[in-house]
Amino acid sequence: MIRVAFFDTKEYDRAAFAQYDDRSLLAFKFLETRLTEDTAALAKGSDVACVFVNDAVNRAVIDRLYANGVQVIALRCAGYNNVDVKYAFGKLRVVHVPAYSPHAVAEHAMAMLLTSVRRIHKAYNRTRDFNFSLNGLTGFDFYGKTVGVIGAGKIGRIFIDICRGFGMRILVYDKYPAGDNLEYTALEKLFACSDIISLHCPLTDETRHMIDAGAIAGMKKGVVIVNTSRGGLIDTEALLAGIKSRKIGAACLDVYEEEADIFFEDRSGHILNDDLLSRLISMPNVIVTSHQAFLTEEALNSIAEVTVNNIRSCFVNSGRCENELCDRCGRIGQ
């Protein structure tokens, strides 16, 4: 029997994975706590530690998991910037879910964008108070505007297809352009020409704070920035400065670089100690959602299926897993 300890689990995680908890091959233990150095001991006796985006799988955690008999780290997400994959090599195998429902994330990015530009959230709040004034609700057409898409992976391409449906011009920056019919361009040109910029790339040492003060200075006045990838892609202080100076017209953020101790929890009864996030949320032209772009029934079911198949592959199917991340196989950073 393969014993799996799930960290940072919510009700929707349990519901999605319940169908695979048959006790004949897999036995699940669901933990609400995040994986840290202090909680790694909870995985003792388990073969697999199943983790999510805000679990900290650094060197110390990897050593403690390894000492407690864990053999595999199974990410139930695509990104793995929170895992020291290189250090894990030779100790723990690391697998991830490279594509669960790219449509879910791309559609959420467009939903946030539409909400922001057409002031739907403001109209909703007004009409609940029987205020039917249209003052201050003027938006702009998407048709004919230029959208800059950073990252032309599966999610980025679906977002591009959605933008095409609105009749938008699309500029694309990708470190590895595919040579297809997309209009690839340099990052500086994308910043300078785009009315809207949407981020769909992984967080690496190279991409961290790719949206900083210098990048913002090169953007069009009134640009709208959308981020459904990783919070660390944007320098939050630079973003706030750009908003205050009216350089940035709006920001739609499903992620935040210091979200680990905040997102996925009900903080409504507490004082938020994060001043940067408090200031962001207070801005009338900023929409923040709490890393929910992935949250559809289809995506959750796909995550559960692929995660379980990854685990089975590591222990049953000749020990091979196509979704394994390792230094030796060259998948780091790709």
Active site residues: 230, 259, 291
Distance CA(334)–CA(320), nearest Å, equals 19
| Cα–Cα distance for residue pair 33/20, rounded to 1 Å | 22
Question: Which residues does 82 contact at the CB level (< 8 Å), separation at least 6?
Answer: 51, 53, 54, 55, 56, 57
What is the DSSP annotation of 171-192?
EEE-SS---SSS-B--HHHHHH
Spatial distance between the Cα atoms of 257 and 223, rounded to a whole number of angstroms: 21
What is the residue-wise DSSP string for 98-165? S-S-HHHHHHHHHHHHHHHHTTHHHHHHHHHTT----TT------TT-EEEEE--SHHHHHHHHHHHH
The token pair that represents 187 in the structure block: 């990052």
